[in-house]
Chains A and B, each alone.
Chain A
Amino acid sequence: MKRSILIFACALTGFSVILTALLIHLAAYWNFSERFKQEAAVELDYLRAAIELAGIEYLESLRPDAFDPRVSLIADDGVVLYDSAGVVSDMENHANRPEVKAAMENGSGESTRFSETMREQTYYLATRLRNGSVLRIAGTTDSVFASLGWMILLTLAIIAAVFCIAAWISTFAARRIVAPINRLNLELPEDNAAYKELSPLLAGIKRQNDRIAAQIAEMRKKQLEFSAVAENMREGLIVLDGEARILSCNQSALNLLHTRPAGFENVLTLRRDEPFRRAVEQALGGASAESMLFAEGRHIQLIANPITDGGEIQGAVLMLLDVTEREDREKLRREFSANVSHELKTPLTAISGYAEILSNGVAKEEDAPRFAKNIYAEAQRLIALVNDIMLLSKLDEGGPELPKERIDLFAQTEDAVQRIQGAAAKRNIDVAFEGESAEIIGIRRVLDEMLQNLLDNAVKYNVDGGFIRVSVVKADDGVTFAVADTGIGIPREDQERVFERFYQTEKSRNKAAGGTGLGLSIVKHGALLHEAKIKLHSAESRGTRIEILFPAAP
């Protein structure tokens, strides 16, 4: 701004100074030379009059230095008769000088001749006398170029001075012009009263401001939506740019990776093990990748996808899922299949073995009934096992086809107690049953299975001559069924696990009581189906008490 003002001011003033100087000079010079010529003409007239009267002697009577301008008298043949500037005899014939020639022909003549250096010019004026000779005067002045030379120097000095002033003024002017522009409030462009020339610009700025504000609001809303979604999801979400820098990272991701963001924002600051690195590198290389990570006892599935824009990779999105439960379930399923196969195989192997001996005829006659009995027992075990598994899988599906009905838990329990009396009596186990009639909503078959399993356990894992106490009582929030025995008990470390399928404590296995390992699992699933709660109290070698709290029938 200042620069352009300065250049403009300097050019303008410089041009006008030069033009003015030139014109004034030319006018003055023209004026001066006209005056000079008039004076010369007047002087020539005087001289001519004097010479016409007094002859050449008049000239000679004058002192040579009295003449300025120079005076010459030239005869009609061109010979110089008199010259105030020098010796006549040295001078060449003047007949060919243009002013002399003109004077001889027309009565008067003039011419201007420059010196060799062009610094000076001489003006000649000649007139023809009556006797035919020619009188000439000459005056020398600085030539137009010489005077112009002086003039140019002077002009340059003026221009230099003008430039200095222009520089100062333009600085000042620029500051003055810009000051109101600098004071413009671009947040509220219409409130400015600077220059009216700026109004279109300010209007444009206002339009732009409005558009930007709208866009920012839109972006903020989107950002808010994104962070609301990202922060509230259980899955970890990390967005990376093309150089693996973290653009956004939600709290779940930090929690899952058990880390906090370090100062440096590369994703490797969060985690740096090989599966993680590989997935990130693959995603940034343009391919989707999956990895399993392990952090603080949790299995975390990492899904990495590239973000592309027009075929170019802009970054990557990392998704972190806690799949510990899935992994655990998977493990459970594998264990269950392995257990089922094993449990099915054991009786089958025994049956096959006995059957082989019998069919080969190597068995002694008297052993045959024992073998047949064993085959029968193992087959019964198989049937029980398959029944249990079928019931369990039915319970797994939520027992949809089993009808719920109003059941008196007391009566149901009484039936079950009746059924174990025989087995208990064989081992001198006392069974006490007490309680009151209490109705619940339940599935008769499942309920019967649960009670039977619990009571069977109480007998199976009891000591000979032990004691079983069974009760059904109404509680504040439902009906409590309880069975307590004086058996081998469950070690504390196993209490969590006895409800798992096929889990049997060390002692119960050794006892070879013939359990399938599925009884308590059925109880647990049955209780779930009835929305009942199970409580287990047990001390090793002292006994077990299991309580089931059923919700009361409405």
Chain B
Amino acid sequence: MRDSYKKQLEALHVSLIRMGAFCEEAIANAVKGLLDEDKGLAADVAQTEKDINLMEREIETFCLRLLLREQPVAGDLRQITAAQRIIADMERIGDQALDIAELSAFMVGSPVKSDIRIGDMAQATVKMLSDSVDSFVGSDLAKARSVIEYDDVVDNLFYKVKDELIVLIAKDGKNGGACLDLLMIAKYLERIGDHAANIAEWVEYSVTGNRRRD
């Protein structure tokens, strides 16, 4: 009985790793589609996003069943609670990756993006998400905290991109549409960074039992 319970907790952990990997792929493909102007990747991202939604529902049901049947306490309870919150964040990441992929399709051929630091910002976001999933995989407290710190880097990049876009619009009004699309993409990236930080916070909670207040 307890043995199967332990196995179920392990299965929960593995399915979260898998969902995290899907999120990483979704955002990596969305960013690649934006930077390399590869339109075909948008379809991949859409498929991945569907898979992520499906996984969220499955894991949610699984968590509820664990809570009802096993009545976990202490660390196990925290692990399951954290898992429930993490999948919500991951699902949002999937949505935003799809939004980026859809907007990128309109950006093909637009020269604007080479003038701003959207590429840096995208790389920073991908790295942040990757690190936050890593911290979850290994229950790595130090890494989780570094991810939370790193959110400031992504936020600052967002402000820089915003300023650069303002300058671009002021210089030439023709690019206004593309600039606004890029601003949206930057905002989505910034939100993904926030969700990655949330995941890291839930990892911290799962390990220590303390919730951050901010």
Contacts and interface: CB of A to CB of B under 8 A. Distances in A.
Given A262-B138, A268-B17, A268-B18, A274 B10 contact: no
A272 B10 contact: no
Interface string A70-110: 00000000000000000000000000000000000000000
Interface residues of B, number: 14
A272 B133 contact: yes
A264 B20 CA distance: 16
A268 B18 CA distance: 8
A274 B139 CA distance: 22
A277 B14 contact: no
A269 B10 CA distance: 11
B17 A263 contact: no
A263 B138 contact: yes
A263 B139 contact: yes
Most chain A Cβ neighbours within 10 Å, of B25, B133, B138: B138
A273 interface: yes
Interface majority SS (helix, strand, loop, mixed), chain A = loop
Interface of B is mostly: helix
A209 interface: no
A277 B17 CA distance: 11
Contacts of A244: 14
Contacts of B24: 272-273
Interface string A242-277: 001000000000000000001110101100111001
Contacts of A272: 17-18, 20-21, 24, 133, 137
Contact of B13 (A264, A273, A274, A277): A264
A274 B28 CA distance: 12
A274 B22 CA distance: 8
Nearest to B25: A274
Interface in B1-50: 10, 13-14, 17-18, 20-21, 24-25
A262 B138 CA distance: 5
Contacts of A274: 21, 25
A272 B14 CA distance: 10
A268 B139 contact: no
A266 B138 contact: no
A262 B139 contact: yes
Contacts of A268: 14, 17-18, 21, 137
Interface of B: 10, 13-14, 17-18, 20-21, 24-25, 133, 137-140
Minimum-distance CB pairs A-B, first 6: A262-B138, A272-B21, A268-B17, A266-B14, A269-B137, A262-B137
28 contacts: A244-B14, A262-B137, A262-B138, A262-B139, A263-B138, A263-B139, A264-B10, A264-B13, A264-B137, A264-B138, A264-B139, A266-B13, A266-B14, A266-B17, A268-B14, A268-B18, A268-B21, A268-B137, A269-B138, A272-B17, A272-B20, A272-B24, A272-B133, A273-B21, A273-B24, A274-B21, A277-B18, A277-B21
